[in-house]
Amino acid sequence: MSGEMDALAVVNQLRDLAADPLNRRAIVEDHGCLPGLILFLDHTNPQVVYSALLAVRYLAECRANREKMKDELGMMLSLQNVMQKGTSPGETKLLASEVYEILQAAGKEEAEQAEAAAASCRRKAQFFLGSTNKRAKTVVLHIDGLDDSSRRGMCEEALLKIRGVISFTFQMAVKRCVVRIRSDLKAEALGTAINSTKVLTAQQVVKAEDGGERMVPFNEGEAAPVEENTDIPDYLPEDESPSQDPDKAVTRVGAISDGTGWLSTAANFLTRSFYW
């Protein structure tokens, strides 16, 4: 991993690593990563903020992490700032409020925690378990052609352009993508965007009457036009991500050159623990 990795590349790496449940405890227990993610919540680049929120949201999926995350200096305040900031895109505010609610509930009585755990079990097939926000819904897609990282990147690019997509995660082994979307967005918009790649074909996975699953193709004739997302900048591959002022971005989280800043710590952590 290059020592000159910029802030966006590091936070994107942490986001991807946090998506794997096996990594979540280690990331939170590392002394540098959680404070660094909190700093990124105040970053001037909205793309960095959104990616950091996704990473924090993944980490909060591990129940054992929540108390430590809530007590981490600046975490709750930074989430409030994102929620209240007038320049924050709507999807970013929605995601920040979900994280805040989950962490805020971490210190409540045992009975409430047991009730939340039971609710999570009932919704274990959904992405971002335990969400109480009624303005969001979950759509499960089966995507033919989702065979490697390049095809995954193609799918990510298509989904990130859709206004109303909050977040998503991939299950590459079974060619699935679980997408969190605003309640007013139709699932057909996801299918239209993915099918427009010409190499990927999406079907929606729904629960059958017998309790199993069935796949429903999207009817292109009924699909509504996709409204492109302009609030959050399009993600670019990390090696192509532009940085108008990379020195300033690095300064915000500590200089890499002296080896003591969080950015360097995180880069070393990724190399030492997870990087493939």
**Domain annotation for the chain: domains and CATH numbers:** 7-129+257-273 (no CATH), 136-217 (3.30.70.100)
Length of the chain: 276
Q: For residues 179-187, give the mean pLDDT.
A: 87
- The mean pLDDT value for 74-99 works out to 91
pLDDT bucket at 254, cuts 50 / 70 / 90: very low
Q: Which two tokens stand for residue 154?
A: 């193609």
- The more confident residue out of 266 and 167 is 167
pLDDT number for residue 236? 34
Residue 151 has pLDDT above 80, yes or no: yes
The per-residue pLDDT of the chain, averaged, comes to: 75
Between CA 21 and CA 138 the distance in angstroms is 19
Sheet holding 136-144, edge to edge: 165-171, 176-182, 136-144, 201-207, 213-217
pLDDT for 108: 65
Query: Residue 127: what pLDDT?
Result: 43
Of residues 75 and 240, more confidence is placed in 75
Question: Which pLDDT value is given to residue 131?
Answer: 43
> The whole model's pTM is what?
0.46
